[in-house]
Every structure is written in structure tokens, then in C-alpha cells.
Amino acid sequence: MAVHTWLPDAHVEAPTGGSVILAAIMLKMAGTGCCGSVCRSHRMQPSIRRLMVALSLIAIVYIAYVAIVQQDMKKLVAYSSIAHMGFVTLGAFLVFFIVAATGSTRAPSTARRCMCRWSRMA
């Protein structure tokens, strides 16, 4: 679940240019951190990975509903940024479920290497 309750207030108080930079930098940093945790998630129990997928889905839906009712455009951007990170975590943790469903033995290490390299480049 997204716990970035400070983000909408920071967007509202910042000037428009700062708000855009805040959204871009925060999304990049959060995506890099997510991919870094996925590099270690191959050692996680499948039940924990399922929990992460479920929490990502809940965050996407809940934060999207919160974003819909916003009157302030900056708050709408902030909440949509938080919801977007739900999609990033969902995709990152679903990689391992797809690999497990296909039964590939080489794919988990390949996916892990690609995500680790991406997070180092960012």
C-alpha cells in the first residue's frame, strides 16, 4: 500500500515546475528502489510475493479512486503518481509468477539480471 501521504501536500505547496520535477524524480527513485528489491525477491517465499501483488492491486484501485475525486490539479497529479507506482510494483513482482508458470529455469536469473542492471543505470 502506498504510504506517501506527504506527497499531495508537497505538490500543492510547490510551484508548478517544482511539482513536475517532484513527480518525475520521485517516480524514478521509487522505480529504482522497487527494482532493487525485486533483485532480492527471488529469495522471498511465494506467499510474500502474492501479498505484494495483492497490495499493489489494492493500491492501484484505491489511489485511483482517491485521485478521481480531487478538485486540485496538483493533488490529482500527486495521487496519480502514487497509483502509477502500484503498476510498477505489480509488474516487478509478476515477473516471477510468469516465470514460474512457464517452468523456465533460465528466465528467473535473466529477469533478475536485467532488472538489477536497469536499477544500477538509473
Q: CB atoms < 10 A from the CB of 65, how many? A: 11
The mean pLDDT value of the chain amounts to: 75
Long-range contacts of 55-63 (CB under 8 A, 24+ apart): 55/1, 55/89, 56/86, 56/87, 56/89, 56/90, 56/93, 57/86, 57/90, 58/1, 59/1, 59/2, 59/83, 59/85, 59/86, 59/89, 60/86, 60/87, 60/90, 62/1, 63/2
Whether residue 75 has pLDDT greater than 70 = yes
pLDDT of residue 40: 63
For the ranges 28-37, 57-66, 106-115, which has the lowest average pLDDT?
Answer: 106-115
Percent of the chain with pLDDT over 90: 9
Q: For residue 62, what pLDDT is reported?
A: 92
Q: Give CA–CA dist 46/9, Å, rounded.
A: 36
| pTM reported for the whole predicted model | 0.70
Each residue's pLDDT tens digit, 28-51:
777 777 666 666 666 667 787 788
Query: Which of residues 71 and 91 earns the better pLDDT score?
Result: 71
Q: Cα dihedral angle (29, 6, 83, 30), rounded to 10 degrees?
A: 10
Which residue do the cell numbers 497529479 mark? 77
State residue 122's pLDDT score: 46
Q: Kind and range of the H or E element at 16?
A: helix 16-40
> Is residue 69 scored above 90 in pLDDT?
yes
